[in-house]
Amino acid sequence: MVTSTGTYFVKIDDIDAFANFYNDELSTQELCDIITKDIGRGYRDYGAAGAEINFLNQFKNSGLMLFKKGADGSFKRKGLMADGSLQIIPCN
């Protein structure tokens, strides 16, 4: 996904967790709208970092991983620290 604040991709890391998450959290338009509004609110209030934090919170334990393209052209995995702030997670 290309946005005005960066280029992202999402990887399904655990297909079973994602299937369960989808059934519980994404299976209706209403559920998708709730998540979309929350991510949008994060962007409106705190910019790209707020949207990333809200995305990661909304998709916690979903089987998805978020990556953002860095200035050097490589993608870095984004995650949340225990205090809720963003961190870059090294890829192995």
Model pLDDT for residues 28-46, shown as the tens digit of each residue: 999 999 999 999 999 999 9
What's the pLDDT tens digit per position in 41-92? 999 999 999 999 999 999 999 999 999 998 899 999 999 999 999 999 977 6
State whether residue 5 is helix, strand or coil. Answer: coil
What is the rounded distance in angstroms from the CA atom of residue 40 to the CA atom of residue 29?
16
**pTM score, whole prediction:** 0.87
Reduced to 3 states, what is the DSSP secondary structure of residue 74?
coil
What is the total residue count of the chain? 92
